Structure 1
Amino acid sequence: MIQTIRKKVGMTFTRKWFARSWSYRDAFGFTSLRQYLGNAVPPSLLFSCDRRFTLLIDLTLDTEIILKAMHKNMRYQLRRAEKDDFSWRETKDTKAFQRFYNNFAQEKGLPTLRDNVLTAEKTHLNIYEVVLHDDVVVTHAYLIDLEEKRARFLYGASVRLNEKFDQNLIGRANRLGHWKEMQHFKEMGLQVFDFGGYAKDTNDPEKKGISNFKSAFGGVVVQENSYNSRLYRLYRKIGK
């Protein structure tokens, strides 16, 4: 399990990722159980349930088997990306990541990444970059749960909204980044690559496109619900 704590307006907000049990302390605090894995489901009187899906890839499989399970166009795009002048690397520079991500988020109309969020997640965060001619073109951040042996994709950003860069090239960089990261996590001894959400049965064209992108890597769609304490849910509702 991963636990992150954020302080805001004098209150403490706790997120527990991949928890396998709950407590009354969770129920009466500002607590969110993200992708809950426990058999004992938190009672609806104390928690509200957010029905969630994600896509998991089994990293215990042989690399060639993982590749074979991908859509043929994904394998083609990865072969092309290997011939491009990309380099892939891990970085510890969270401030540079935050700037890059926030530039992307602002261009796309998404919420930016605040300092308190990054500080809470920093201990469990691994960040990777795909670089082209000294320019960072794609960055990915994952939550790493060593106990569960799981890497969970959390944030991703690119320069695809920048007209300076070829969009097809950036698309290949994004694919290559995920594939390099899968191989890296496999070498680390992790067993599960979690794509961080999957919009099952959506009619939203953008969400459907993202889900199709993830599905092209293979894997299995699973339901892993999140449970929010009533206080957490109320604050989030008021905050909106």
Structure 2
Amino acid sequence: MITYSKKGLRVAEAYYDEPAIQSGADVLRCLNYAQPIHGGNSQAFHTIHIDLCRTPEEIFAEMNSTTRNDSRRAEREGVTCEAQSQPGDAWLNEFFAFFEEFAAAKGLPSPNRDRITGMRDAGILDLSRALDADGNVLVWHCQYGAQARIRLLHSASLFRHTEDKERIRLISRANRFLHYRDMVRFRESGFAIYDFGGWYAGQDDEEKLRINKFKESFGGQVVRVFNSDRGLTMKGVLAVYARQALDRLRGQE
């Protein structure tokens, strides 16, 4: 469990059904719980779980042929993977700089540095990256682990910064290879589930459907969990009510 600031609110964040301590925060956020939290604003959320309680060979065999072939080719091409389960400031700052460049190119918001640093300080953050044969970083992954599960939080690459189609394909292969190496590493660290961090349950958003197809290429099972927010102070209650109103408005669009 961590605490961090977001838009003037102090947020306490808990994961995967862990006991939630309600102190010193405006909002209690419970993510990836099996059931909705009583008294909170709860939203169903779909994701893909990969069973890590198998051999690396079994995990690899469940992936489709494209993902297996791309992973093998990336390794032959000299792609290497590095990781830190307790990343220092240098690695954290390198990740932030890379992700902010990626986010700007894709029109995404910058990462919440306070939240991610809080995960690091709580000992639950993991960073990994794939490098080409010349040592250039191609892909970063950011994950957090709790309750024997580890969840992908961010994946970033800069393929939009090049028009070299072969370079773009290399980045794609490196990303698949890094996911597989992450899974093997997490299995060796005692995690039972690799959580891909989301799966789009709709039918209209073509980009999200393409992301679904990528995640499904690794095998696994689509599951439904719940994310819930509960106000703990008057400011927190008002913020949760505002979020509920916004969710209803979006649902009507």
| TM-score normalised by structure 2 residue count | 0.83
Of 25, 38, 42 in structure 1, the residue corresponding to residue 37 of structure 2 is 42
Q: What are the Cα deviations for residues 87-132 of structure 1, in whole angstroms up to 9, with x where unaligned?
A: 1101421011101111100110001013322222223111011011
Q: Give unmatched runs, 5+ long, in structure 1.
A: none
SS at 1:51 equivalent: strand
Match of 2:142 in 1: 141
Q: How much has 1:65 moved relative to structure 2?
A: 1.7
| Cα separation, 1, equivalents of 2:171 and 2:137 | 10
| Cα separation, 2, equivalents of 1:117 and 1:209 | 28
Q: How much has 1:10 moved relative to structure 2?
A: 5.8
Match of 1:170 in 2: 171
Match of 1:95 in 2: 93
Q: 1:185 and 1:167, CA in 2 relative to 1: closer, same or farther beyond 3 A?
A: same
The more displaced of 200-209 and 161-170 is 161-170
Q: Structure 1 counterpart of 2:200, which letter?
A: A
Q: How much has 1:50 moved relative to structure 2?
A: 1.0
Match of 2:126 in 1: 126
Q: Structure 2 counterpart of 1:30, which letter?
A: V
Of 68, 72, 95 in structure 2, the residue corresponding to residue 75 of structure 1 is 68
Q: What are the Cα deviations for residues 116-157 of structure 1, in whole angstroms up to 9, with x where unaligned?
A: 222222231110110111211100011012xx2111101110
Q: What are the Cα deviations for residues 29-59 of structure 1, in whole angstroms up to 9, with x where unaligned?
A: 4111111135xx423xx21221101100110
Q: How much has 1:164 moved relative to structure 2?
A: 6.2
Q: How much has 1:238 moved relative to structure 2?
A: 9.1
The more displaced of 217-226 and 196-205 is 196-205
Match of 2:56 in 1: 63
Q: How much has 1:202 moved relative to structure 2?
A: 3.1
SS at 2:161 equivalent: coil
Q: What are the Cα deviations for residues 181-214 of structure 1, in whole angstroms up to 9, with x where unaligned?
A: 0010111111111101111233201100111100
Q: Structure 2 counterpart of 1:96, which letter?
A: E
Is the Cα–Cα contact under 8 Å of residues 57 and 192 in structure 1 kept in the other structure? yes
Match of 2:214 in 1: 213
Q: Structure 1 counterpart of 2:106, which letter?
A: K
Q: 1:69 and 1:9, CA in 2 relative to 1: closer, same or farther beyond 3 A?
A: closer
CA RMSD of aligned residues (A): 2.4
| Cα separation, 1, equivalents of 2:63 and 2:6 | 42
Q: 1:78 and 1:10, CA in 2 relative to 1: closer, same or farther beyond 3 A?
A: closer
Q: 1:22 and 1:190, CA in 2 relative to 1: closer, same or farther beyond 3 A?
A: closer
| Cα separation, 2, equivalents of 1:239 and 1:203 | 20
Q: Structure 2 counterpart of 1:160, which letter?
A: F
Percent identical residues: 26
Is the Cα–Cα contact under 8 Å of residues 60 and 186 in structure 1 kept in the other structure? yes
| Cα separation, 2, equivalents of 1:237 and 1:104 | 30
Match of 1:155 in 2: 154
Of 226, 234, 237 in structure 1, the residue corresponding to residue 241 of structure 2 is 234
Is the Cα–Cα contact under 8 Å of residues 41 and 244 in structure 2 kept in the other structure? no
SS at 2:33 equivalent: coil
Is the Cα–Cα contact under 8 Å of residues 5 and 115 in structure 2 kept in the other structure? no
| Cα separation, 2, equivalents of 1:68 and 1:15 | 35
Match of 2:110 in 1: 112
Q: Give unmatched runs, 5+ long, in structure 2.
A: 232-236, 248-253
SS at 1:111 equivalent: coil
| TM-score normalised by structure 1 residue count | 0.87
Q: Structure 1 counterpart of 2:240, which letter?
A: R
The more displaced of 213-222 and 12-21 is 12-21
